[in-house]
Amino acid sequence: MKLLLGNDLKTGAVVWWTGRDWSLHVEDAMDVGEHGETIARAEEAACRVAGAAVIDAEPGEAGPRPAHIKDRIRALGPTVRPDLTLKPADPSVGSWVI
Amino acid sequence: MADALRYRTDAPADEPAVTLDAFLDQADAASVRIEAGDDVRHLLPHLARVKLVEIDFPRFRDGRGYSSARILREAGYTGEIKATGDVLVDQLLFMRRCGFDSFAPEAPITPAAAERALSAYPYVYQHAADDAVPVWKLRHG
Amino acid sequence: MYRYDQYDQAIVDARVEEFRDQTARRIAGELTEDQFKPLRLKNGLYLQLHAYMLRVAIPYGTLDSRQMRMLAEIARKYDRGYGHFTTRQNIQYNWIKLEQAPDILADLATVEMHAIQTSGESVRNISADQYAGATADEIADPRPWAELLRQVTTFMPEFSYLPRKFKFAITAADSDRAAIRWHDCGLRLVRNEAGEDGFEVYAGGGMGRTPMIAPLIRSFLPADQLFGYVQAILRVWNRHARRDNIHKQRMKILVHELGAEEFTRQVEEEFAGFEARDVDPPRAEYDRIAAYFAPPPFETGLPDEIDRSDPDFALWLDRQVAPHKAPGYAIANISLKPVGGIPGDISAEQMEVVADLAERYSFDELRATHAQNLVLPHVRKADLYAVWQALDAAGLADVNLDLVSDIIACPGLDYCSLANARSIPLAQKISTRFADIDRQRDLGELKIKISGCINACGHHHAGHIGILGVDRKGTENYQLLLGGSGAEDVSAAKITGPGFDEDGVVDAIEKTLDAYVRLRDPGERFLDTYRRIGVEPFKEAIYG
């Protein structure tokens, strides 16, 4: 499946395209199929995100898991500061990323 | 092309600029166009007949044209130097300081935006082709 | 240290307002990301994996307590309570919001700091010997020249869109603590037989994809012609560098392709013109700046003896403290490399402890080092115990300067959008594996440097042991390099062979160091042994 992610223009936070809006959580991300680039250019032009990009992911029970480690780190936060990630209390996130 | 921003009082050159090679071939040409990769020093022996030098910026990140303008001014050229191509408002101050005195950007720049950009800094740290006085000179007279 | 006058302050304030306007235009959609990117980069603002990242300049690595406290306040107010000291003696924040960036720059300007030209295709922050003005092995404090150079290279009109970034480093010492020959332009202040100051000029060094050690292009440049010469170098490069391939636009490529001799000839030719036009500031300007760097009022008659009765303090003393030029004083190094920690990271609270110590014990002066540590440059020997106690209480008293756990690491894939592999977890594993201080001391001087991609922000080419993280089919892989140096015995490290996974490279380092312990002659550092016996015995130990 294909996901669309970007950085929120004003805050820089990593955001995922949900089909109608942007979410901080990769679990909310929707398969954009072939439409990713079109949505990306439109959302960039509307100044909602910067650096929008289409990435590969695998569907899973807990939601999509990006195929590349870089995008999994973007989804979660720095592996060396679990306290600053989106799931600071979840000990299983390490194995999700790596 | 948008209306040019021009900071000169003399009449603009009325003939279109030709390439550097064509200029060197045509003894009566007075307007020349310098591409980013051209060596502007080839022009120096002929400055007496030059009225306009257009220096092109194919991409705003290509900074070679700044050195071309400086070299012309250092050689004593006092005619018009026009920046063309991908010229953005945030570059105008640096270009003015390098000796550009007219601008024909691909995307228009309003005179008000240009004025704001050109007056953004009250002081400068170094001599250039303009008459701004470097702060070390202000400090020591 | 230097203080802004009305002119410096007005220029930095104007920069803040200009960036506030540019940011507003970006948020309003008047600037595209392509147009805004070079503008924000010239103010040190990147877009990274998790957020915007702001890199704040610490010119030549010198700062005072007021500035350090502001860095702490920014960490708390706009970021997540910490900062990261970099290999260019700067500090960066990882969690910045674009809409707040102009306010941060405004706060910085109140303490005479900025983020000007800390990124982008411009002359970057000038790095310098962190012991400048304190060490006995320099002919003079090089920082007045660095400050002069900072000013004249700020917003240089002709060089506002250079082919790539450009990095200066400056020292005046015999020992090279600034890695000058790994820079686009390395300057060493020297004194000729007539007693005049001048520079040895090295040009065309750099790490990254194509590591190059800068050749000497001028053995004596009269110091007050520095700016003209620098402009000549920049002009030759600006005019003749390639512009069609971002990987071949650094000055090192031009110097290499022209050859040092031809490059030098072109620079000298251009320099003759600058010299004739008299572009350098007058000597009075150097004198004005130099007055700010006059030595602090060192007390005389202080004792040199130090009470070593506390064994933990004695350990710290022997490793972290360096000789000072003034009797009774010492240079105290503060490690930002706790075992298992993140190299270069420091919390806001720790910043404030360090600021207090600088104010109370070091004539209000601090230094950041390219090895991502801090320095209290002027501490009375009699105060070292109190300093150590305060550092210890703040978790800043690690004893590992230049030892195996004093690792340089770039932010890597945990933070950086360019990275291919994580650097920090590897540094953490290595420092944990070699945590035992007796073992570290036995292994002696050892510089491990880790980069998470080929851009080499972690200086892996200059590591006695270098590690380069690469992406191998979507998994992190690490290449091991041996034999580099960033010091006066400069050399480029070489790859040993096939790469490893994270644990594999830690094992390979251990095998390398076990071999070193077996094969070393008495008194030899790892680098000396490597140079004497070559790579083969180490390859045998690692891969055999």
The answer to the question of residue C123 being in a domain is no
pTM, two decimal places = 0.96
The predicted complex's ipTM stands at: 0.97
Could you state, in chain order, the average pLDDT of each consecutive group of 10 residues for chain A (98 residues)?
98 97 97 97 96 96 94 96 92 84
Residues B50-65: pLDDT tens digits?
A: 999 999 999 999 999 9
- The HSE-up count of residue C308 (CA atoms within 13 Å, CB side) is 7
| Domain match, C169 and C281 both | yes
pLDDT band of B3, cuts 50, 70, 90: low
Query: B with C: how many residue pairs have Cβ under 8 Å apart?
Result: 99
DSSP symbol at C467: E
SS3 content of chain A, % helix, strand, coil (to 5): 30, 25, 45
Q: Do C413 and A69 touch (CB under 8 A)?
A: yes
Q: C and B: touch, per 3+ CB pairs < 8 A? A: yes
Domain membership flag for residue C149? yes
Claim to verify: residue C367 and residue C420 sit in the same structural domain = no
Residue B4 has pLDDT above 80, yes or no: no
Residue C344 sits in the same domain as residue C455: no
Taking only the tens place, the pLDDT of each residue in C128-169 is 999 999 999 999 999 999 999 999 999 999 999 999 999 999
Domain B5-140 in this protein, CATH class: alpha beta
User: Which residues constitute the domain of residue C87?
Assistant: 6-109
So what's the pLDDT on residue A92?
81
pLDDT digits (tens, 9 = 90+) for C214-266: 999 999 999 999 999 999 999 999 999 999 999 999 999 999 999 999 999 99
User: With the C-alpha atoms ordered C266, C187, C127, C410, is the resulting torsion angle positive or negative?
Assistant: positive
Domain containing residue C324: CATH number: 3.30.70.3340
Which chains have 3+ CB pairs within 8 A of C?
A, B
Beta strand extents in C309-361 (DSSP E only):
321-323, 329-334, 345-347
Angle at CA of residue C125, ends C119 and C127, nearest 5°: 135
Is the Cβ–Cβ distance between C185 and C202 less than 8 Å?
Answer: yes
When the pLDDT of each residue in chain B is averaged and rounded to a whole number, the result is 95
CATH number of the CATH domain containing C476: 3.30.413.10
Say if A92 is an interface residue toward chain C (CB within 8 Å).
no
Question: Does residue C370 share a domain with residue C331?
Answer: yes
Is B72 exposed, middle or buried, given 0-12, 13-18 or 19+ CB atoms closer than 10 A? buried
Look up residue C56 and give its amino acid.
V
Segment C494-504, tens digit of pLDDT: 999 999 999 99
Q: Does residue C184 belong to any structural domain of this protein?
A: yes
Tell me, yes or no, whether C477 and C513 share the same domain: yes
Q: Binning pLDDT at 50, 70 and 90, where does residue B1 land?
A: very low
Q: Position of tokens 């660095």?
A: C146
Ranges of chain C whose pLDDT falls below 70: none
Per the CB < 8 A criterion, the answer to whether C481 and C495 are in contact is yes
| Residue C219 token pair | 């053995």
Regarding whether C423 and C328 lie in a shared domain, the answer is no
Residue B42 forms contact with C (CB below 8 Å)? no
User: Does C11 sit within 8 Å of B61, measured CB to CB?
Assistant: no
By 3-state DSSP, what share of chain C in percent is helix, strand and coil, each rounded to 5? Answer: 40, 20, 40
Q: What pLDDT score was predicted for residue A94?
A: 80
- The answer to whether residue B2 scores a pLDDT higher than 50 is no
Q: Is B139 on the interface with C (CB under 8 A)?
A: yes
Domain boundary among C258, C289, C320: C289
Cβ proximity of B103 and B5 under 8 Å:
yes
CB pairs under 8 A between A and C: 72
| Interchain contact B91–C (C-beta under 8 A) | yes
